Chain A
Amino acid sequence: MKKNNALLLSTPYLLWMVAFTLIPLGVVAYYALTDPATGAFTLNNLKSLNLYWGVLWQSILYSLVSSLVCLVLGYPVAYYIAHRGRVAQKMLYMLVMLPMCMSFLLRTLAWVGLLQDTGIINNLLAALGLPRLHLIRTPGAVILGMVYNYLPYMILPLYATIVKIDPRLIQAAEDLGCNSLQVFSKVVLPLSVPGILSGTTMVFVPAVSTFYISQKLGGTDTVLIGDVIERQFKQGNNPNLGAALSLVLMILVFVCTGIMNRFGADEEGGVIA
């Protein structure tokens, strides 16, 4: 009876997810293996991937750097929030979440206004009598955009892990003669590994697949894999090549998250902070 009910309630959902997540991935594979003009089976799309390994490598590099910067900047913030009072914790948590709810397109455009050659930062520098800097359309600007947009995705899971660390463990380490650096490296840091792993995944995945940030803040030499995919679908009109590139991106992300999970990110807390 119970078993039947469970199947009755969950089957429509499972069918929906198969229809709209698994089958679409099959369709991507189908497009990747067919010719744009004739629709016949071909390996040409996969062969032309050879042109894009450089772009893919660049995307991986940029998002790894961004994830690392997010971790270094986000950890102290998460640690600080986790050690406030209950009300302050809630309010600070909310302040980290708020930017995530606002249009990321407009917030990235605001960075264009800040970083332009005649933008706010350069006007400020000029007013102070300092030389102007060329900031926009550089790799640094793209990484800044990634860090800015995805930093909350790092802070929230880190906070969720750090706040659960039992303060008695820290007291015990102190009683046993650890100084504050040792407490951190031997107790706090190892216990925050799940948060570090899920935070890194949550920054890496959107960063490696972005196309808006690199379009707005980057130049001709900072093209990322997301840009190339977007162009195949929206300008180049070669959805078959776009599908092949999407397939590569998907495999890359699954391999990365697989490695992360192997290192022990917990299943349910891992994806949602």
Chain B
Amino acid sequence: MKRTNRILTVLIFIFLYIPMAVLIVASFNTGKDITHFDGFTLKQYARLFQDRALLKLLGNSLIISVLASFLATVFGTVASLGLHNLSPKMRSAAMTLTNIPMTNPDIVTGVSLSLLFVFVGSKLLGQRNSLTFWTLLIAHITFNLPYVILNVMPKLAQTDRSLTDAALDLGCTHTQAFFKVTIHEILPGIVSGAIMAFTMSLDDFVISYFVTGLDFITLPVEIYSYTKKPLQPKIYAMFTLLFLLIMVLMVSMNLLQLWSDRKRTTARAKK
């Protein structure tokens, strides 16, 4: 039983990683065809860094995801503080609202936002081009917010209210009490919410595809249009580099967390 479980787990991991291995191998291929390995080369990487247009698209994706996740994190954290103190009835209504973009299929979210922007832009404001950088940013903030809220709210529920009360008794204003006490307790939730929001934004294709205009295109939307033309092998090189980057980020995050857990347990043991 245990052994079959282990074998199955290994097989599933192979299944999950085979397509990525194919892409990584293709990034070192001299030929253009993903199905046929002709020889080893690094020239796709050189080409990637010479391709201004492609790097600009990557830059666009980074701008949107950094801005949207940052704004959603600040906005969402502030909102969580408010939601936390609402009456249970109001709070559950607010959480239902928060869950709408989470349960709605991405395609419905994308379609509904694009219809809203086009409706307001062309029918009410008379603009000819109603899908812009700003509408894309609004869309990303909107689908990022629930990730922040749903990560911060449980942390707020765990905080010890008497600590905040103590800070207030000792003369802190509400703002001071937040920055000196509460934020330290909910920081893990804020960070994981921000990271989730960032990765969701960076990789989002479906919602961006419907909301994006012609003047500001992100990388996934461009990759989608590539697939109608033949795919350029330098894309595989970019995939490989992003894979390494995310891997390094995730491993270091995990090590950091393990290290801080260990520090906490030894500190507790000393007491």
Contact = CB atoms under 8 A, between A and B. Distances in A.
Given A13-B79, A152-B16, A105 B105 contact: no
B22 A113 contact: yes
Interface centre among A6, A81, A86 (most CB of B within 10 A): A6
Interface string B73-111: 001101101111110000000110111111111111101
Contacts of B242: 102-103
A24 B120 CA distance: 10
Interface string A129-160: 00000000000000000001001100000000
Contacts of B183: none
Interface in B105-133: 105-109, 111-116, 119
A16 B139 CA distance: 11
Contacts of B231: 109
Contacts of A62: none
A102 B243 contact: yes
A208 B262 CA distance: 43
A80 B9 contact: yes
A32 to B, nearest CB: 10
A253 B82 CA distance: 30
B53 to A, nearest CB: 18
Contact of A268 (B9, B150, B227, B239): B150
A90 B141 CA distance: 29
Contacts of A81: 9
A105 B205 contact: yes
A1 to B, nearest CB: 9
Contact of A119 (B35, B103, B220, B246): B35
B260 interface: no
Interface in B121-154: 138-139, 141-142, 145-147, 150-151, 153-154
B5 A271 contact: no
Given A13-B82, A14-B97, A73 B250 contact: no
Given A6-B82, A22-B100, A91-B254, A212 B224 contact: yes
B55 interface: no
A253 to B, nearest CB: 6
Contacts of B114: 233
Interface stretch (A48-56, A161-169, A189-197, A243-251): A243-251
A230 interface: yes
A118 interface: yes
B8 A243 contact: no
B9 A3 contact: no
A102 B203 contact: yes
A110 B159 CA distance: 46
B20 interface: yes
A87 interface: yes
Interface size classification for chain A: 35 or more
A95 interface: yes
Nearest to A17: B97
Nearest to B75: A13
A111 to B, nearest CB: 6
Given A5-B85, A272-B147, A243 B115 contact: yes
B172 interface: no
A104 B205 contact: yes
A95 B106 contact: no
A105 B34 CA distance: 15
Interface string B185-211: 000000000000001001101100010
B94 A14 contact: yes
Given A152-B16, A257-B103, A17 B115 contact: no
A152 to B, nearest CB: 7
Interface in A60-90: 73-74, 76-77, 79-81, 86-87, 90
A37 interface: no
24 contacts: A6-B85, A10-B86, A11-B82, A13-B75, A13-B76, A20-B113, A22-B100, A73-B8, A76-B4, A79-B5, A80-B8, A87-B258, A94-B254, A101-B246, A102-B242, A103-B239, A105-B224, A109-B34, A120-B35, A226-B107, A253-B104, A253-B108, A271-B103, A271-B146
